[in-house]
Amino acid sequence: MPLSQEFAASFGRLAANHLWQSTAFAAVAVLLALALRANHARARYWLWLAASVKFLVPFSALAAIGGTLGRWLVPTAPVSRVPFVIEQIVQPFAPIQDAAAPVAASASAPSILPAMLLAVWLCGFIAVLLCGWARWRQVAAAVRSSTPLTEGRELETLRNLIRVPTALRLVASTAKLEPGVLGIFRPVLWLPAGIGHRLEDAELEAILAHELCHVRRRDNLLAAIHMLVEAMFWFHPLVWWLGARLEEERERACDEEVVRMGGEPQIYAESILKVCEFYLASPVACAAGVTGGDLKKRIEGIMTNRFTRELSYGKKMLLTVVAMAAVAGPVVIGLINPPRSRAQAQTAAATAPTFEVASVKPASPDQRSRDFRTYPGGRLSFTNVPLGQIILEAFNIKRYQLSGGPRWLDTDAFNIDAKAEGDPTRDQMMAMLQTLLADRFQLKVHRATHEGDVYALVVAKGGAKLKESTAQDSYIRTLRNTPPELPGVSYTESGQKASMAMLASRLASIEAHPVSDQTGLKGEYDFKLDYATDDNPETGRSISSALQEQLGLKLEVTKGPVEVLVIDSVNRTPTEN
């Protein structure tokens, strides 16, 4: 799989897991908000804010923090699989597999779909940002053209309400916008020019008290954070629903605070209605006004003084446990899982089979012969063999099963001479060769599967044309027949005491596709197969034509899983011997 596709697949799984986790977290916030519906609005506000911020904080980031903390806590013995199982549960879009099994990954054909999705997301992201910026500029322009208030009833009322000295500035705007607060670190409180003539003293005090609540609560900063969430996740309806809940609960929280501070409910409610009658609502969430949220519910809540019950001890404990679980859970998983992986990697490195001595050198450009042999007594030798072919031998795969990697894998040849202790089997020597490649070439690979073309070797109509073998030796040999001056290339495959599985394996190398034996023939046969790379009459029949005419077999194309070895990284220059 190309690196870009591998990255796209990995990023897609990470994004899907993050969206699923954030959505589930928001669902928990909904349940908690229902449980707190008779309590202060500020408690529900912080729940909605936590659900919003969760979209910016992946659980994987918390797990990474836990993994960093766990570097000093690496266990010396294998631990329970529970952390791995939990990780798979919270990441349903990652392939579920055993920790020791090869990693399954998608390796589909090159596609422009990831690029198209990225382009669509980027367009939406920019559109939401531009829309928010345009609305903010509208308010900012009104504030810049405003006149600072240095005296008057409005300023005196504000000074009476402010208990602690603050840098808050008061300005009068000619725009028909409701009273509001603009700015995060240096807030400006603007009032429509002439509002003092429309409101009584008590009503003006209630409106200013409401805006001061926004300043103390840092509502503009928190609203800006959620606006970032809306821009990044504009495609998710939940973030827009959360925005509406945040605005509703922040206004109700300010209402409750104003009433708690001694504001007369009826006067306060009338002041809000007067503002709604004469002025326009703030067009941007991070410029907190006074008329946001569901006005009908707000007025009812103000007049009846409802929803002001303090949190009980049990509900405080519930919120504490949920908060600790949300933060500490991923950290604990990261704390346990990565150290376990490191311990396993250390154990695997310590027990990996290795050659006693090994020499790895680049082949000379003058070398022409190419050879690979294993000898009794644990000796292995490659002469002038490209690194790509060495990797195929080490992992016992066909060329079509090797994915990724630089082009020089098929051109840069090497001489390898290695000797192992004792008399290992060929499989053991190939495992040692894998370790040698990882050590000298820093080769890093992982296995993957994808859907692709596979061939099935079946008996053709008319039956098989094979002869049962009585020979002792079993082999399939390939002979090139065509002189170089003729077009095309012809070959002869000579089989002796060969099974259909052996023939299927040989055909897989020829066709560069997986070939499975589905003939149902269990015997061992002698055969001779003459074929060419095309149907040129000068050289012979193609492999599919020759199979049917000479052996009574044929290849059928089907779809199925194809196992591949993906090269993550490899060095061109081997380390010194």
Residues 173, 206, single domain; the answer is yes
Q: Which of 414, 441, 468 is the last residue of a domain?
A: 441
**Contacts for 278-283: CB closer than 8 Å, 24+ residues apart:** 278/176, 278/192, 278/198, 279/176, 279/177, 279/178, 279/179, 279/192, 279/195, 280/176, 280/177, 280/178, 281/177, 281/178, 282/139, 282/177, 282/178, 282/180, 283/135, 283/138, 283/139
The reported pTM is: 0.57
469 Cα distance to chain centroid: 55
Is the pLDDT reported for residue 387 higher than 70?
yes
Paired with 280 in beta bridges are: 177
Residue pair 76/343 in contact (Cβ under 8 Å)? The answer is yes
> What is the rounded average pLDDT for all residues in the chain?
82
Number of H helices, E strands in the chain: 17, 16
Residue pair 180/290 in contact (Cβ under 8 Å)? The answer is yes
For residue 243, the model assigns a pLDDT of 92
pLDDT (tens digit per residue) in 445-473:
999 888 888 899 999 998 999 999 998 88
Residue 93 phi/psi, 5-degree rounding, is: -90, 0
Q: Look at residue 455 and tell me if it is in a domain.
A: yes
Residues 187, 254, single domain; the answer is yes
Paired with 517 in beta bridges are: 457
For residue 340, the model assigns a pLDDT of 46
Residues 6 or more apart whose CB falls under 8 angstroms from that of 385 comprise 363, 370, 371, 372, 413, 414, 416
Burial of 275: CB neighbours in 10 Å, binned 0-12, 13-18, 19+: buried
CA 456, CA 515: separation in Å to the nearest integer?
Answer: 6
The dihedral sign for the CA sequence 498, 504, 508, 510: positive
Domain count, the chain: 4
Residue pair 384/371 in contact (Cβ under 8 Å)? The answer is yes
Measured between alpha carbons, how far is residue 151 from residues 180, 198, 305, 566 in Å?
19, 18, 34, 74
Specify whether the backbone of 194 is left (phi greater than 0), alpha (psi in -120 to 50) or beta. Answer: left
For residue 242, the model assigns a pLDDT of 94
**Token duo for residue 295:** 């006005």
Residues 341, 362, single domain; the answer is no
For residue 69, the model assigns a pLDDT of 66
Q: Look at residue 122 and tell me if it is in a domain.
A: no
Residue pair 338/62 in contact (Cβ under 8 Å)? The answer is no
3-state helix, strand, coil in the chain (%, to 5): 50, 20, 30
Residues 471, 558, single domain; the answer is yes
Mean pLDDT check: name the lowest of 11-15, 33-37, 307-311, 406-410: 307-311
Residues 358, 338, single domain; the answer is no
CA 517, CA 508: separation in Å to the nearest integer?
Answer: 11
Burial of 35: CB neighbours in 10 Å, binned 0-12, 13-18, 19+: middle
Q: Which of 409, 441, 473 is the last residue of a domain?
A: 441
Residue pair 154/191 in contact (Cβ under 8 Å)? The answer is yes
Q: Look at residue 295 and tell me if it is in a domain.
A: yes
Residues 76, 36, single domain; the answer is yes
**Token duo for residue 82:** 């529970």
Q: Look at residue 42 and tell me if it is in a domain.
A: yes
Residues 412, 535, single domain; the answer is no
Residue pair 150/198 in contact (Cβ under 8 Å)? The answer is no
Residues 469, 499, single domain; the answer is yes
Q: Look at residue 176 and tell me if it is in a domain.
A: yes
CA 200, CA 485: separation in Å to the nearest integer?
Answer: 106
Residue pair 438/464 in contact (Cβ under 8 Å)? The answer is no
Mean pLDDT check: name the lowest of 129-138, 200-209, 225-234, 486-495: 486-495
| Residue in this structure with the two tokens 């002189």, named with its chain if needed | 483
Is the pLDDT reported for residue 511 higher than 90?
no
CA 341, CA 208: separation in Å to the nearest integer?
Answer: 58
Q: Look at residue 501 and tell me if it is in a domain.
A: yes
The dihedral sign for the CA sequence 390, 393, 395, 400: positive
Mean pLDDT check: name the lowest of 256-260, 508-512, 533-537, 569-573: 533-537
Which among 88, 190, 95 is positioned nearest to 147, based on CA atoms? 190
pLDDT (tens digit per residue) in 19-35:
888 999 999 999 998 88
pLDDT (tens digit per residue) in 421-434:
988 998 899 999 99
Provide the domain limits for residue 549.
445-567
Residues 451, 510, single domain; the answer is yes
Mean pLDDT check: name the lowest of 48-62, 68-82, 248-262, 352-366: 68-82
Residues 404, 553, single domain; the answer is no
CA 334, CA 330: separation in Å to the nearest integer?
Answer: 6
Q: Which of 416, 441, 466 is the last residue of a domain?
A: 441
Residue pair 547/553 in contact (Cβ under 8 Å)? The answer is yes
Residues 383, 465, single domain; the answer is no
- Is residue 382 very low, low, confident or very high in pLDDT (cuts 50, 70, 90)? very high
Residues 141, 97, single domain; the answer is no
DSSP one-letter string for 340-403: HHHHHHHHHHHHS---SEEEEEEPPTT----EEEEETTTEEEEEEEEHHHHHHHHHT--GGGEE
The dihedral sign for the CA sequence 565, 568, 571, 577: negative
Q: Look at residue 519 and tell me if it is in a domain.
A: yes
| Residue in this structure with the two tokens 């081997």, named with its chain if needed | 574
Q: Look at residue 117 and tell me if it is in a domain.
A: no
Is the pLDDT reported for residue 361 higher than 50?
yes
CA 496, CA 524: separation in Å to the nearest integer?
Answer: 8
For residue 1, the model assigns a pLDDT of 43
